[in-house]
Amino acid sequence: MKYLRSVVGGTFDHLHEGHKDLLTMCFDYSKYVDIGLTTQAMIEDKKYASLILPYETRKNEIIAFLRELGIQEDRFQIVPLINMYGNTLEQEFDAIFVTEHTVPGAELINTERLKKGMPELVIEVCALRKDSLGEILCSSRIREGLVNRNGFAYEVLFRNTMKLSENQKNILKEPLGTVMNLDTETISCAKKRVIVGDVTLEEFLKRKLDFDFAYIDRRSLRAEYQIDTTLGEKTTINTEILNEPGEISKQVFDFIHTQLEAENTVFEIKGEEDLLVLPLLLLLPLESSIFYGQPGKGVVSVQITEEKKEWVRSLLENPGT
């Protein structure tokens, strides 16, 4: 081993391939490793901080991965971090492992160690993992819902207009989530609350239920359907964007992608909006909710999770016969 004892620190939220590269490098180089894991005090300013997994969950994910690597538990300890220094100014280490983005933090630690008469740590830098778009794989983009932990960016699926097969359409005849009763159930405090469909929107407006934005096409069961979208004091935007029945057009996907932060807005498209549930599900942040109407069943509530995103990805990648 190059080092006897080293240190590494981070949030390690939604443990992904980049984290795994860093941890693997630590144990390839070091016999013992202290892993500093950020506590609540250090994560409040991060993007989508409310979606960061609890401390114990993140800790257990690290332990599970190290077990997969065959690392014995006597080779590491996980230390709660309440600041960037952790135990680096009190204990002896040989090296500190960082990514290209966190080198400045390691340099600050060395500055403080020198002030205390302690030797500098060797700074070992792990290359950043890139996702399928060539962007840096990071936990914030996973929380945003844009990529998975392996670095697959969901927008890759929509580089061209997608026409669904009969097999895919048949699968989608079953609800993607839970059929709910709007008269008795409350709408959860989801990260984003999005509606697809005229009838569902009308039900929300009548009941004065809150939502962020909606997509409608002024049709229901292929017949014209007119609702008063001003009931909820929402802004209605006629997009002039075309989405043919049975398709998810590149044009409508690109538009959705640019409107994920919309508030108090109803978007009206040309053609058909039914299938927009799928790109929305793949692009919205984790813990968001989509509400849409399922013919003959009622309003369906879909809670967005990592597992649900991967299910939709599998559906779209495998059209079947």
pLDDT tens for residues 193-250?
999 999 999 999 988 888 999 999 988 767 788 887 766 678 889 998 999 999 999 9
Residues ≥6 apart with Cβ < 8 Å to 160: 250
Q: With a cut of 50, which residues of the chain have pLDDT below it? A: none
Neighbours of 306 (CB within 10 A): 13
- Please give the pLDDT value at position 73: 94
Per-position b or e across 40-76, b if 16+ CB within 10 A of its CB: eebbeebebeebbbebeebbebbeebbeeeebeeeeb
CATH number of the domain at 3-143, out of 3.40.50.620, 1.20.1630.10, 2.40.30.20, 3.40.50.2300? 3.40.50.620
Between helix 17-29 and helix 55-69 the angle, nearest 10°, is 60
- Please give the pLDDT value at position 185: 64
Question: What is the spatial distance between Cα 153 and Cα 208, in angstroms, rounded to a whole number?
Answer: 35
- Please give the pLDDT value at position 158: 94
- Please give the pLDDT value at position 2: 96
Side chain identity at residue 223, one-letter code? A
Burial zone of 121 (CB within 10 Å; 0-12 exposed, 13-18 middle, 19+ buried): buried
Q: Report whether 300 contacts 176 (CB < 8 A).
A: yes
The CA radius of gyration of the chain, in Å to the nearest whole number, is: 24
What tokens does 97 get?
């492992």
- Please give the pLDDT value at position 1: 85
Side chain identity at residue 118, one-letter code? M
Strands, E assignment, 39-147:
76-81, 95-99, 122-126
Region for 149 from its dihedrals, namely left if φ exceeds 0, alpha if ψ lies in -120 to 50, beta otherwise: alpha
Q: Report whether 53 contacts 25 (CB < 8 A).
A: no
Domain with CATH 3.40.50.620 in the chain: 3-143
Residues ≥6 apart with Cβ < 8 Å to 171: 315
Question: What is the spatial distance between Cα 39 and Cα 317, in angstroms, rounded to a whole number?
Answer: 38
Question: What is the spatial distance between Cα 51 and Cα 31, in angstroms, rounded to a whole number?
Answer: 34
Question: What is the spatial distance between Cα 23 and Cα 75, in angstroms, rounded to a whole number?
Answer: 12
Q: Is 169 helix (H, G, I), strand (E, B) or coil?
A: helix
What tokens does 167 get?
């097999």
Q: What is the largest CA-CA distance in the chain?
A: 79
